[in-house]
A and B are shown apart, each in its own frame.
Chain A
Amino acid sequence: MDVVLLSRLQFATATMFHFLFVPFTLGLSFLVAYMETRYVKTGDETYLRMTKFWGKLFLINFAIGVVTGITLEFQFGTNWSRYSAYVGDIFGSLLAIEATTSFFLESTLIGVWIFGWKKLSKKAHAAVMWLIAVASTFSAVWILIANAWMQNPVGYTIRDGRAELVDFAAVLFQKYAIFKFIHTVSAAYVLSAFFVMGVSAYHLLKKQNIDFFTRSFKTALGFGIIFSFVVVIMGDINGVIIAEKQPTKLAAMESLWETTTRAPVYLFALPDEENERNKIEIGAMPGMLSFLVRHDINAEIRGLKAFPKEERPPVLITSFAFKGMVGLGFYFILAAILGWWKRNRLVDSPKYLKLMLLSIPLPYMACELGWIVAEVGRQPWIVYGLMKTSDAVSPIATSQVLTTLIGFVLVYGLLGVTGFYLIAKNALKSPELATDN
């Protein structure tokens, strides 16, 4: 194995692990802030208990999210030094702005929230969680602007052998960034809503703390319904943008080999990359792809063969990840609508509750699959059309990367086991009696 592959595996391990914890905190911060506000406004102790119960789960996730985020920021330098030198003028400044404007606020206030119950007024304490929620959303804004720039570089010029910033506004406000942000954040909200609904379902199935978990379920349900629609709609818009900006990614997502009008969407297709065709094609819907991405069933869509072999992404991974993500996206809408229908007789719907309990891992999978589509689908480019991944890697020894990759797998493996053990332990126990200290 070479340095490029090992570095990619390491970065994938680090980011995918990081993203098991981040989406939950993005959504839960708002839910917890809402619960605490309800407590402050109504004085209802159940809302305080909800704040504490879900808050504890939020904090465990937050801790793991923070510590695994640090390694990501530094890995651009350690493992992708040529990339960093080439695009640091733009990409580096986005990361630095994220740290100074958002991450600092979030991290300083998290300590204040955990330890400040008695030191702050009730209102101020709830306000701290709102600020944490807003700051973490802005963190996501900056990080996704940076990622969008890797997908579709804009506002730069090549000078002295590197990409230099010429138009900051173009970088900040490009379509790609805006829709990527909404799509990603909505996915995070769906994940946290399904987590809260799933855990509540567990307790409702055992018929314990019924009022507490019915309220928790309903709070998350509203959130879940709205954002399960938003995430799919935004995904559709993203498809249009990808068709325009990253034609190779689109063709790989749909495993479309030939350039054609009335391009189809397949319910299932098994690509055969060697022979540049699909081995199996099931459920072709002619014109569907043309219609979805160009709003015209007769529009011509370029297939993979229109691009040189060395500029195509891995088709199998990209298309499977994409299909899986889309399928799950529709499932979330159905599950949420079903919940709305049953919302006033949840305790009497054990089958639905079981379904929701078992659905907890699904949004996690959907989020990871989404990132696989985004990142594997961008290959062989690290910055689309501008720099190849193979040119971006650090001039370091294979043994160094192999050692740290093993380190990542071990440390993150242990961290994952411990983290999910603690999350499960705290999620499955009964919420404690309310104490305001």
Chain B
Amino acid sequence: MVLQTIWFFLWGLLWALFFMTDGFDLGIGTLYPFLGKTDQDKRIMINALGPLWDGNEVWLITAGGVTFAAFPLVYSVMFSSLYSALMLILFALILRGVSFEFRGKVDHPRWRKIWDTCIFVGSFVPALLFGVAFANIFQGIPIDHNGIYHGTLFTLLNPYGLLGGILFVLLFMIHGALWISIKSEGDLQERAASTANKLWPVLLGVMVIFLIASKFSTHLFDNYIEHPAFFIVILITVLALLSVRFFLVRKTFFKAWFASALTIVGTTFFGVIGLFPNLFPSSLNPRYSLTAYNASSSPLTLKIMLVVVTIFIPLIIGYQIWAYNLFKGKVTQADLAHDEAY
């Protein structure tokens, strides 16, 4: 029981870390056609995430891998039920990843245009669909007692699901705009900051609507009502979102970005705590839901995996902080002139 509970929250943490890190990459890609007016702007944007996106994306692989290792039944039912949505995400991420690498390799406007489009599509689609998928998980998925999904891709595109999608896109866009504000100067920085400023009230509005809609469309609040102490997570998330604005108007972009990171982690945990112990609730019948208790691996596997992540996750966080620190500061002309720059 204890092991399964630990793993439930580790599972949530890994997804939260993925949204927090790759979230700004996806946000930058979504803002790319709007903020990147000149080729120079575009190059600054992709070089701002250049050294980091690959390491960020591995949080997704790890979140997926840990779902497989700790909750094989959830992995199998979740990914086969959300088949079309997940495949769209994967194709999009393939396009995004190679676009960074390919874009600068041939000096021709049409070549660059193709990869510019792929960067946008490859970032916007995953941002939206991750939101749609998680909102649907919060709400419950039509799976039967054999874990067979009764629905299509369009079943997921219900109002609450789409609301979740919009929420994620906005969270990531602000997160990305703040990263660009940190990494750029002059006109681009101003436009990025002003975009974050303009999107902020929209995000606040959507966040409030999402919380209210969660009351009616999901059972997430049941856990909060039972253990009111958990309301602190919602409180912290809201405070983090308010501090994004606070730091943004003061132009302390790194603090604003950090607050935005906390908002994303908080939003994910709002859902994860509300779900507990469900990992993949069934909307057909609560008895069909996959939980931390009925879908986990054997205690031996959970223990081995716990040892592995206790050693390696802090190590990974350590060397990722080192890498972020190595590449702190603005993207300069010299950075762009460098052979391997994107």
Contact = CB atoms under 8 A, between A and B. Distances in A.
Interface of A: 52, 56, 59-60, 63-64, 66-68, 70-71, 73-74, 76-79, 81-85, 87-93, 95-101, 103-105, 107-112, 114-120, 159, 162, 164-166, 168, 394-396, 400, 403-404, 407, 411, 415, 418-419, 422, 425-426, 432, 435, 437
B75 A67 contact: no
A107 B323 CA distance: 11
Contact of B300 (A108, A165, A415, A426): A165
B72 A104 contact: no
B79 A77 contact: yes
A12 to B, nearest CB: 17
7 pairs of A and B residues whose beta carbons are closest in the complex: A88-B72, A77-B79, A92-B68, A108-B55, A96-B65, A111-B51, A81-B76
B86 A70 contact: no
Q: Which of A84, A110, A404, A437 has the most CB of B within 10 A?
A: A84
A77 B312 contact: no
B58 interface: yes
A85 B76 contact: yes
B51 to A, nearest CB: 4
Contacts of B75: 76-77, 84-85, 88, 92
A301 B338 CA distance: 61
B105 interface: yes
* Chain A interface helix/strand/loop/mixed: helix
Given A100-B309, A103-B58, A114-B50, A95 B65 contact: yes
Interface string B144-181: 00111100000000000000000000000000000000
Interface in B294-309: 297-298, 300-301, 304-305, 308-309
B314 to A, nearest CB: 11
B341 A100 contact: no
Interface string B58-85: 1011101111111011011111100110
B339 A437 contact: yes
Nearest to B146: A395
A76 B147 CA distance: 16
Nearest to A103: B58
A60 B105 CA distance: 10
Contacts of A165: 297-298, 300-301, 304
Contacts of B101: 59-60, 63
A104 B55 contact: yes
A67 B98 contact: yes
Contact of B339 (A52, A96, A116, A166): A52
Given A85-B76, A407-B87, A415-B94, A108 B54 contact: yes
Contact of B84 (A60, A63, A159, A400): A400
A93 B304 contact: yes
Contacts of A395: 80, 146-149
Contacts, number: 233
Nearest to A156: B298
Contacts of A437: 334, 337-339
Nearest to A437: B338
Contacts of B335: 115
A139 B149 CA distance: 33
Contacts of A117: 338, 340
Given A92-B68, A111-B52, A165-B298, A63 B98 contact: yes
Given A107-B54, A115-B341, A120-B326, A77 B80 contact: yes
A59 B342 CA distance: 12
A103 to B, nearest CB: 6
Given A99-B61, A100-B312, A407-B91, A67 B50 contact: no
Nearest to B295: A85
Given A67-B97, A92-B72, A119-B326, A78 B83 contact: yes
Q: Which of the listed residues A73, A82, A100, A404 has the most CB atoms from chain B within 10 Å of its own CB?
A: A100
A7 to B, nearest CB: 11
A111 B50 contact: yes
23 contacts: A66-B97, A67-B93, A67-B97, A71-B90, A74-B64, A76-B75, A78-B83, A84-B75, A92-B72, A92-B297, A96-B68, A100-B313, A104-B62, A104-B316, A107-B57, A111-B51, A165-B297, A166-B300, A168-B304, A394-B83, A396-B83, A404-B83, A425-B106
A27 to B, nearest CB: 20
A419 B115 CA distance: 13
A233 B337 CA distance: 48
A89 to B, nearest CB: 5
A117 B122 CA distance: 28
B94 A70 contact: yes
Given A100-B313, A107-B58, A111-B55, A85 B65 contact: no
B311 to A, nearest CB: 9
A17 to B, nearest CB: 11
Nearest to A159: B298
B316 A73 contact: no
A404 to B, nearest CB: 5
A99 B62 contact: yes
A60 B87 CA distance: 23
Given A108-B55, A418-B102, 14 more contacts: A56-B340, A59-B101, A60-B105, A63-B100, A78-B80, A81-B80, A88-B69, A88-B72, A92-B72, A96-B69, A111-B51, A111-B53, A120-B326, A411-B91
